[in-house]
Chain A
Amino acid sequence: MKDIIRIGNGQGFWGDSIDAPVRLAKDGPLDYLTLDYLAEVTLSIMQRQKLKNPKAGFAHDFLDLIKRILPEISEKGLKVITNAGGVNPQSCRNELIQLAKSSDSDMKIGVIQGDDIFPTLAELRTKGVTFENMDTGDSFDSIADNVYSANVYINSITIAEALEKGAQIVLAGRVSDPGLALGPCIYEFGWNSDNYDLLAAGTLAGHITECGAQCTGGNYSRWQDVPDLAGVGYPIIEMQPNGEFCITKHDNSGGLVNRETIGEQVLYEMGDPNHYISPDVCVDFTSFKLNDLGHNKVAITNVAGLIPTDTYKVSISYFAGYKASGQLTISGPNAYEKAQLTAEIIWKRLKNSGVTYQDTSTEYLGLSSCHRDINPVPSQINEVVLRLGVKDANKDNVNRFGKEIAPVITSGPPGITGFSGGRPKAQEIVAYWPALIPKELVHTTVDVI
């Protein structure tokens, strides 16, 4: 057994830096590279791509990345674990095999399936799964006809199993984000599924690193203290068999790892810290000890875990109507007053034309869109961006809004500009519906070729 394994996370979300994972793979020692490509509604986009083209439905960016780090995988033994498989990991693997062949290398690629329950939703409902919204308690009936995708957050044992079978790249769909890091720990150290403290340690480590540079100096309150954010290093877990671990980054990289950069990220998207529920374990985030070792290294010990729940979380996406937003820049004397009048004019014209909306928004970017009334509006402002939005089930009404933005430039108060890119058009709202499913009804498979 290894004394320590190094797991770097090079992708916090689909759209994160394309160079960061390459630097992680090449600029220092690394055993595993984890990559998170899935946000809550990303799978719905992929599901619809797959409907149009049976070969689509995964994160294409991932293929471009593998091209760049192929030598590290085939020659240096770096293993890659990712949810880039989306709703079509098999197709993603086929593309990877072609890619490897064209470079005369040979890779073993594992595919984890069983998270995608979209095709069996009706059958599962007849078995008594209600899929009621776990946040609001609303009945699934209200969205049943509008579902785009349904994926279970499956456990990390599946990742360990793929590694056990020799996979150099593990392609999953909806595994939990921290699970990408926990999987290799289970495999390397033989952690048992009932050793909750160890599973909790791996899950906490994965939670800290899952958003990439957000634990190495990005989005940090004391941003003035962070050196070289342009060259920020992405995080690396140094995990030991006993569940004690450090978070660090490559020596030559920018950014900062200290008690506060790690602590802030521990708090990110935190609910009840006493019960952080993952598919593998419940983590007690009030348990661990954090020790800043200096030199961009923080040690974490004494993580406590509790027995996991008997359900998995299901991430369901569904069609929920249309929305559009448009903006204008208003400048000059009394810019704020003019912006308020501009908003009033646009809403009045829409009302006069007989159009109504489920919901609207009026925001003043640069003044109060983020923090509302917390700070008073300054007496002198140079310019402000007026941002208006509408939402409705009726697509025509939403598009009607888009036609009422530009006219105000010549028929409203003076000093208005910044209308470009054409009329705002109605966009589909793909909404998120979290639910639960009994674990025994989810059947995962792992195959490696």
Chain B
Amino acid sequence: MKIQLNQIAHARSGDKGAHSNVGLMFKSKQLYEWAKSHITTDLVKVHFQSIAKGAIVRYEMDNLLALNFILRDSLGGGGSESLINDAQGKTHGQALLLMEVDLPDNLVQFVNKK
């Protein structure tokens, strides 16, 4: 089933100098294990191609059922040097939740209705 990540995940983002980070957290272990193998740095790189100029780094947090992505060079310089509206990457979490993914049938039970 095609869904938006917004229907199965939580996200929060912020700045790390000239880079932003996006934490992506899941409510169930099944969704998290699926995400570990499917939400790859390549996929995130393509999704953020108009935002992140640099590489994508991914960390896994099994204890929190979460992935942490670093979007390198994604803030137009970052901090007070940046001219862009979202100079701190506050909205990058919401941007990741816009990603469309193909969820296997056995995980459809975890999809949020609204």
**Interface on A for B, CB 8 Å cutoff?**
40-41, 135, 219-222, 224, 259-260, 263-274, 285-290, 320, 323, 325, 359-361, 363, 365, 369-375, 387, 389-391, 429-432, 434
Contact = CB atoms under 8 A, between A and B. Distances in A.
A430 B81 CA distance: 8
A48 to B, nearest CB: 14
A260 B63 contact: no
Contacts of A387: 85
Nearest to A327: B85
Contact of A260 (B10, B85, B91, B94): B10
A221 B12 contact: yes
Nearest to B81: A431
Given A221-B93, A260-B10, A325-B83, A371 B64 contact: no
Given A370-B94, A371-B91, 16 more contacts: A135-B18, A265-B12, A267-B21, A267-B61, A267-B64, A268-B14, A269-B16, A270-B21, A273-B59, A285-B61, A285-B64, A320-B80, A325-B83, A373-B49, A374-B51, A431-B79
Given A135-B17, A267-B66, A371-B95, A40 B79 contact: yes
Interface in B58-88: 59-66, 68, 70, 76-77, 79-81, 83-86
A273 B61 contact: yes
A365 B85 contact: yes
B35 interface: no
A391 B10 contact: no
A370 B77 CA distance: 15
B98 A361 contact: no
Interface of B: 6, 9-18, 21, 23, 25, 27, 47-51, 59-66, 68, 70, 76-77, 79-81, 83-86, 91, 93-95, 97-98, 112, 114
B93 A290 contact: no
Contact of B97 (A40, A219, A221, A263): A221
A135 B9 CA distance: 30
A329 to B, nearest CB: 15
B71 to A, nearest CB: 12
Contacts of A365: 85
Contacts of A371: 51, 91, 94-95, 98
B83 A374 contact: no
A326 to B, nearest CB: 11
Contacts of B95: 370-371, 374
Contacts, number: 129
Nearest to A285: B61
A390 B83 contact: yes
A286 B62 contact: yes
Contacts of B80: 41, 320, 429-432
A318 to B, nearest CB: 11
Contacts of B12: 219, 221, 264-265, 267-268
Contacts of A375: 98
Contacts of A320: 80-81
Given A269-B16, A269-B21, A263 B64 contact: yes
A267 B68 contact: yes
Given A221-B97, A288-B63, A264 B21 contact: no
A260 B51 CA distance: 26
A271 B21 contact: yes
A19 B60 CA distance: 38
Given A359-B83, A429-B80, A273 B68 contact: yes
Nearest to A387: B85
A363 B84 contact: yes
Contacts of A273: 59, 61, 68
A7 B22 CA distance: 28
Contact of B61 (A269, A286, A389, A430): A286
A373 B76 CA distance: 16
A369 to B, nearest CB: 4
A285 B63 CA distance: 9
B85 A360 contact: no
Given A264-B10, A272-B59, A370 B91 contact: yes
A5 to B, nearest CB: 25
A369 B21 contact: no
B14 A269 contact: yes
Contacts of A290: 63-64
B68 A270 contact: yes
A290 B25 CA distance: 13
Nearest 6 CB-CB pairings of A with B? A267-B23, A389-B83, A372-B50, A373-B50, A361-B83, A269-B14
B29 to A, nearest CB: 13
